Structure 1
Amino acid sequence: MQKTFFEKELAISGTQRKDGANNTKKEVRKIQSWLTLFSMANPSAATATGIDGNFGKATEKAVKNFQEIKGVPQTGVVDEETFELLSAPMRTAFTKQSPGADLRTLIVNTAKSHLPSHPFELVIDKQPNSGPWVRAYMDGNEGEEWLWCMGFVQSIIDQAASVQGKDFKKLMPQTYSCDRVASVGLEKGILFRNSTIRSNPSLAKPGDIFLLQKSSNDWMHTGIIIDIDDDVFETVEGNTNNGGSNNGNAVLRRIRNFTKSKLDVFSIQSLV
């Protein structure tokens, strides 16, 4: 895999504890982030806490609640074992190989495999587009300006292509920009415009990428197409929400009507 920053989110440099002399703000924030992410997937868990880098009584209690749920000793201390449990959703999403004999199937199944882990952004220091999942998809970058839909798409394609020993950068440059990928698609003749897709939907196939137009040469959102049915794409998208925002907060499976929205399609066929 080319995009391996996720590995940094799966470990801490040392044991962290309440008022610990060896605590570091960076590592405590990682712990608080994973505790909060766990609460989003498990609303009754009582593990949500402030993400301020201070391991005080609130963080200790959140850790104990998490440890109780996981059936391990309630020490309130985050050692390697507890942190592995906290970060397990990301480990599963990025390292468990999805089934598929061909690249298109691998891409679709890899995109689906991230959904059960509930990838979600956090707001840290008043900055949205932050947290472990954003950093993993965006190679360590986070913050308000780091819209992460393309980072998600390229992470999925990279993960799937690597199973077959293929380099996704032969298909497109590594970038976070929808405009850059779309421009390359136009140059290579592998970006189908929405008007063409509307007249010939069979050109779009599972595993391809949709690019939502803001204007004819400006694209503002992207995602993986996992199925085509009549005039709709079923997708898996990052940095979206239930309303289909291009700056949402989660990875979601959605339905988009390509006859009512300007969705161009970037074909992955040349990498297959």
Structure 2
Amino acid sequence: MKKNWYQKELVIKDTQRRNGDHNNRKDTRKIQSWLTLYSIQNPHSGTATDVDGDFGPATEKAVKNFQKEKGLFENGIVTQETFDVLCANLKDAFDKPLTATNLRDLVIEAAENHLRNHPYELIIDGQSNSGPWVRSYMDGNDGSPWYWCMGFVQAIIDQAASALDKNFRNLMPQTYSCDTVGTTGLNKGILTRYTALRNDSSLIKPGDIFLIQRSSFDWTHTGIITSVNNGVIETIEGNTNIAGSRNGVAVLKRTRNFLKSKIDVFSIEPLV
């Protein structure tokens, strides 16, 4: 894979504990981030804590609560082995072997596997679009300016293409910009405008990429198309929410009416 930053999110440099001699703020923030992410899916767990880099009594208790949840020894200490359990969802999303045999099915399989692992952003130091999932999609970048919907899409396309020993950058440049991908699609003749799609839905295929158009050369949001039926596309998209925002908080599966929305479609066919 070309987008391999996620591997850095799976390790800590040393064991972290309250008042530990080898504590460092970066590793403690990673731990606190995963504790808080766990609490989003398990609100009863008592693992939500500040992401401030200080391994104090609150973080120690949150670790113990996590260890209790997972049937681990409740000592409040995070070794690499404990951290492996904390970040297991991220590892599964990126490292689980894909089983499909063609690119379109691989794209959908990879997207669905990420969805099952609950990618979610955090607010850290007052900055949205933060945390290990965002950094994994955005090659180490995070914070409020880093809208991550295209980072998510390219991570999925990269993962699927890599399973076939293909380079996704032969399809599009590595970027975080919907505009860059949209313009690339126009230049290559593989972006279909919404006006054509409304007349012929057969132009849309599962595994393709949708781009929401604000104007002819300005696109504001993107995601993976998983199915097409009766004027509706089902999608898996990052940095969205239940309202379909382009700056939401999670990876979600959505339905979108392409007959009423300005949705252009970028075809992955040249890489198939």
User: Is the shorter-chain TM-score for this pair beyond 0.5, marking a shared fold?
Assistant: yes
SS of the residue 1:255 aligns to: strand
Q: In structure 2, what is the Cα distance between the partners aligned to 1:83 and 1:101?
A: 33
Q: In structure 2, what is the Cα distance between the partners aligned to 1:31 and 1:72?
A: 16
- Shift of residue 166, structure 1, vs aligned partner: 0.3
- Shift of residue 195, structure 1, vs aligned partner: 0.2
- Shift of residue 163, structure 1, vs aligned partner: 0.4
What is residue 17 of structure 1 aligned with on the other side?
Answer: 17
What is residue 201 of structure 2 aligned with on the other side?
Answer: 201
Does 1:89 pair with 2:51? no
What is residue 237 of structure 1 aligned with on the other side?
Answer: 237
What is residue 138 of structure 1 aligned with on the other side?
Answer: 138
* 1:63-120 C-alpha deviation (Å, 9 max, x unpaired): 0010011111001000011100000000000000222111000001110001111100
What is residue 101 of structure 2 aligned with on the other side?
Answer: 101
Q: In structure 1, what is the Cα distance between the partners aligned to 2:215 and 2:69?
A: 49
Q: In structure 2, what is the Cα distance between the partners aligned to 1:205 and 1:98?
A: 20
SS of the residue 1:237 aligns to: strand
**Which one-letter code corresponds to 1:55 in the other structure?**
F
Q: In structure 2, what is the Cα distance between the partners aligned to 1:248 and 1:25?
A: 27
SS of the residue 1:206 aligns to: coil
Any stretches of 5+ residues in structure 1 without a counterpart?
none
SS of the residue 1:91 aligns to: helix
**Which one-letter code corresponds to 2:195 in the other structure?**
S
- Shift of residue 260, structure 1, vs aligned partner: 1.2
- Shift of residue 37, structure 1, vs aligned partner: 0.3
**Structure-1-length-normalised TM-score:** 0.99
Q: In structure 2, what is the Cα distance between the partners aligned to 1:41 and 1:216?
A: 39
* 1:214-257 C-alpha deviation (Å, 9 max, x unpaired): 11210000000000011011000000000000000000000010
Aligned-residue CA RMSD (Å): 0.5
- Shift of residue 155, structure 1, vs aligned partner: 0.1
- Shift of residue 20, structure 1, vs aligned partner: 1.2
**Which one-letter code corresponds to 1:254 in the other structure?**
R
Q: In structure 1, what is the Cα distance between the partners aligned to 2:194 and 2:28?
A: 46
Runs in 1 of length 4+ with deviation above 3 angstroms? Answer: none
What is residue 37 of structure 1 aligned with on the other side?
Answer: 37
| Identical positions, percent | 60
Any stretches of 5+ residues in structure 2 without a counterpart?
none
SS of the residue 2:197 aligns to: helix
Q: In structure 1, what is the Cα distance between the partners aligned to 2:74 and 2:103?
A: 44
- Shift of residue 271, structure 1, vs aligned partner: 0.1
**Structure-2-length-normalised TM-score:** 0.99
- Is the Cα contact below 8 Å between 1:98 and 1:113 reproduced in 2? no
Q: In structure 2, what is the Cα distance between the partners aligned to 1:179 and 1:73?
A: 49
- State how 1:209-220 maps to structure 2 within 5 Å: 209-220=209-220
What is residue 257 of structure 1 aligned with on the other side?
Answer: 257
**Which one-letter code corresponds to 2:85 in the other structure?**
L
Q: In structure 1, what is the Cα distance between the partners aligned to 2:171 and 2:130?
A: 28
- Is the Cα contact below 8 Å between 1:223 and 1:235 reproduced in 2? yes
Q: In structure 2, what is the Cα distance between the partners aligned to 1:159 and 1:104?
A: 12
Q: In structure 2, what is the Cα distance between the partners aligned to 1:75 and 1:116?
A: 30
- State how 1:107-186 maps to structure 2 within 5 Å: 107-186=107-186
Q: In structure 1, what is the Cα distance between the partners aligned to 2:269 and 2:144?
A: 33
Q: In structure 1, what is the Cα distance between the partners aligned to 2:84 and 2:145?
A: 30
**Which one-letter code corresponds to 1:198 in the other structure?**
R
